[in-house]
């Protein structure tokens, strides 16, 4: 399919083991003496700091002290970090200058009106156990189903099996903040991550999915984030907390869509308890003028089986950070992704998988299809802690370039501090295989259709791993619509 162009096989680099992410750092931040000022764009941060002062005054007065302290610590940290510049290794290929030039407003509180009607939602929804809809980052109960209720477990469940609580974060914080305290913000450090800090500082609304021990709901829980084109570009800070208790099973689909220029700055925390089975999907179909910078933080406990699929199709400037800490033995963690970019779209996927305990498997497959002058970044780190023996880690990033002007940066990395592990990584950047194009043409398929068929074929293994059928179908339809002669492809698959 594509020609190998980058590294394959293990490469080990000696570095200091990273401290295990745990509780949030104290409110008083150490000065970042090591970070020179030119690595940070503090001016870009100023409007957000000013807005935070206004935001703070809008909050309910009776919030738990821990939450108040968390937000304050986060904004203080963001004030220090500012916007990262391309001088920082983590942002080397992704310039935030276009984002820094825009001025955004938070959605008015309460939520804006008039709101989009159900007809507007139609293309994005599917049969789900519950669906929470957010407009410009604020929960829209009239568009949602199953919120604030406990989802009945799937039959056949053992008598008395518990259900799953699905609620908006704002409601859950108002009603039972104590129940969230043990998880909210606990697993997602923001010390070195300015946009996690920013999201945490503005933490207010989003989705909460809490599955108590043994709860099983197989139908997907859908979180749909709509951004609207208002008088001025909007910014939203979606915050999702998904906690799968011991032995529970659930599926969550996050979808991001919108119109016009806006900034979506999200964080999803996913905690999989012992033996829990969690399937997570993120479908990023933001508007082509949108900025989407989001982090998925996965915390796995022993014997959990976690999968997360990231589909990135929209946006002007997109950064997806996926961080997984495998903090128990016997965890299986699958992280797959598919990104399509054209014109001048920029999509950056940063992955960090930490094997902290022995006998865990992590498998990553990320594939990108780039056309026009699009650019992609894949930066994937597998970090194996001392003592994490029998780690089985695989990481693969493959990129298909459909134009001469598209650029794919791929940087898979391994840091291994255990001696009995199986770790592989590899990346490829290539074009469609001429022989394969010829093969299809020799059967009577036109050149454009042949190229489209092979492009589809390139994406097909990631597509096939998407178990939620409406999500997979939607993605296929997107491909058929995007690819030249897509009708031929539709008929041939």
Partner 1 sequence: MLQIKNLHAAVEGKEILRGIDLDVKAGEVHAIMGPNGSGKSTLARVLAGQESYEVTAGEVLFQGKDLLDMDPEERAREGVFMAFQYPVEIPGVSNTYFLKAALNALRKHRGLPELDAVDFLKLVRRKMQLVQMDESLLNRPVNEGFSGGEKKRNEIFHMAVLEPRLAVLDETDSGLDIDALRIVAAGVNGLRQDDRAFLLITHYQRLLNYIVPDHVHVLVDGRIVRSGGKELALELEEKGYAWLEDLARQLATTEQPAAAPLATTAATGA
- Give contact residues for partner 1 (rule: CB under 8 A): 433-436, 438-447, 449-450, 453-454, 456-457, 459-461, 463-464, 488, 491-493
Q: How far is the CB of 213 from partner 1 (least distance, A)?
A: 39
For residue 256, list its beta bridge partners. Answer: 225, 284
The residue (of 66 and 437) whose beta carbon lies closer to partner 1 is: 437
The residue (of 53 and 435) whose beta carbon lies closer to partner 1 is: 435
Per residue, the 3-state secondary structure of 207-239, as one string, reads EEEEECCCCECCCCEEEEEEECCCCCCEEECCE
Q: How far is the CB of 151 from partner 1 (least distance, A)?
A: 34
Asked if 349 and 381 touch (Cβ cutoff 8 Å), the reply is: no
Q: How far is the CB of 189 from partner 1 (least distance, A)?
A: 39
DSSP code, position 19: P
Q: How far is the CB of 35 from partner 1 (least distance, A)?
A: 45
The residue (of 68 and 493) whose beta carbon lies closer to partner 1 is: 493
For residue 251, list its beta bridge partners. Answer: 279
The residue (of 256 and 456) whose beta carbon lies closer to partner 1 is: 456
Q: Spell out the residues 6+ positions from residue 155 whose beta carbon is closer than 8 angstroms to its own.
A: none
Asked if 52 and 202 touch (Cβ cutoff 8 Å), the reply is: yes
Q: Which residue's entry shows tokens 């964080």?
A: 267
Q: Spell out the residues 6+ positions from residue 183 whose beta carbon is closer than 8 angstroms to its own.
A: 241, 243, 269, 271
Q: How far apart are the first and last CA of the chain?
A: 18
The residue (of 273 and 486) whose beta carbon lies closer to partner 1 is: 486
The residue (of 15 and 448) whose beta carbon lies closer to partner 1 is: 448
Q: How far is the CB of 480 from partner 1 (least distance, A)?
A: 13
The residue count of the chain comes to 493
The residue (of 276 and 462) whose beta carbon lies closer to partner 1 is: 462
The residue (of 422 and 438) whose beta carbon lies closer to partner 1 is: 438
Q: Which helix (H) or strand (E) holds 246?
A: none
Q: How far is the CB of 446 from partner 1 (least distance, A)?
A: 5
Asked if 476 and 469 touch (Cβ cutoff 8 Å), the reply is: no
Strand 221-227 vs strand 149-151: parallel, antiparallel, or unpaired?
Answer: unpaired
Q: How far is the CB of 487 from partner 1 (least distance, A)?
A: 9
For the residues of 27-82, what is the DSSP string, one character each? SSPPP-TTS-GGGEEHHHHHHHHHHHHHHHHHS-TT--HHHHHHHHHHHHHHHHH-
Residue 463: Cβ within 10 Å count: 20
The residue (of 117 and 439) whose beta carbon lies closer to partner 1 is: 439
DSSP code, position 482: H
For residue 228, list its beta bridge partners. Answer: none
Asked if 419 and 388 touch (Cβ cutoff 8 Å), the reply is: no
Q: How far is the CB of 438 from partner 1 (least distance, A)?
A: 5
Q: How far is the CB of 441 from partner 1 (least distance, A)?
A: 4
């Amino acid at each position: 399919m594509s020609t190998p162009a980058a590294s394959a096989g293990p490469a080990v680099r000696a570095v200091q083991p990273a401290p295990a992410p745990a509780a949030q750092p104290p409110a008083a931040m150490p000065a970042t003496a090591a970070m020179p000022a030119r690595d940070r764009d503090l001016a870009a941060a100023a409007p957000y700091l000013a807005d935070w002062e206004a935001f703070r005054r809008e909050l309910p007065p009776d919030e738990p002290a821990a939450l108040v302290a968390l937000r304050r610590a986060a904004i203080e940290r963001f004030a220090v970090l500012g916007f990262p510049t391309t001088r920082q290794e983590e942002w080397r290929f992704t310039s935030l200058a276009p984002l820094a030039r825009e001025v955004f407003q938070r959605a008015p509180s309460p939520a804006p009106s008039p709101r989009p009607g159900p007809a507007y939602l139609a293309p994005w929804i599917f049969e789900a156990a519950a669906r929470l809809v957010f407009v410009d980052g604020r929960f829209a109960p009239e568009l949602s189903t199953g919120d604030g209720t406990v989802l009945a477990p799937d039959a056949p469940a053992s008598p008395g099996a518990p259900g799953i609580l699905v609620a908006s974060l704002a409601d859950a914080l108002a009603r039972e903040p104590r129940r969230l305290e043990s998880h909210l913000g606990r697993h997602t450090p923001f010390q070195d991550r300015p946009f996690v800090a920013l999201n945490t500082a503005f933490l207010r609304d989003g989705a909460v999915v809490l599955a108590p021990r043994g709860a099983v709901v197989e139908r997907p829980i859908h979180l749909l984030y709509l951004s609207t084109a208002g008088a001025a570009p909007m910014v939203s800070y979606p915050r999702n907390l998904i906690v799968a208790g011991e032995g529970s099973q659930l599926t969550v689909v996050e979808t991001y869509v919108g119109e016009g220029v806006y900034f979506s700055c999200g964080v999803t925390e996913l905690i999989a308890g012992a033996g829990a089975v969690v399937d997570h999907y993120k479908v990023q179909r933001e508007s082509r003028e949108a900025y989407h910078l989001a982090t998925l933080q996965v915390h796995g406990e022993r014997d959990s089986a976690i999968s997360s699929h990231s589909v990135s199709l929209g946006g002007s400037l997109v950064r997806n950070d996926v961080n997984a800490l495998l903090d128990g033995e016997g965890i299986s963690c699958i992280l797959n992704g598919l990104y399509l970019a054209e014109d001048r779209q920029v999509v950056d996927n940063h992955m960090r998988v930490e094997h902290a305990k022995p006998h865990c498997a992590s498998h990553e497959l990320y594939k990108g299809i780039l056309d026009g002058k699009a650019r992609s970044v894949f930066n994937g780190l597998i970090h194996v802690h001392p003592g994490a023996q029998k780690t089985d880690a695989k990481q693969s990033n493959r990129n298909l370039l459909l134009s001469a002007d598209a650029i794919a940066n791929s940087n898979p990395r391994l840091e291994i501090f255990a001696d009995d592990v199986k770790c592989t990584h590899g990346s490829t950047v290539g074009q469609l295989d001429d022989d394969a194009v010829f093969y299809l043409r020799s059967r009577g398929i036109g050149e454009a259709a042949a190229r489209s068929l092979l492009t589809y074929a390139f994406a097909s293994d990631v597509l096939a791993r998407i178990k939620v059928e409406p999500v997979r179908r939607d993605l296929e339809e997107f491909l058929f619509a995007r690819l030249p002669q897509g009708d031929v492809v539709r008929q041939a698959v």
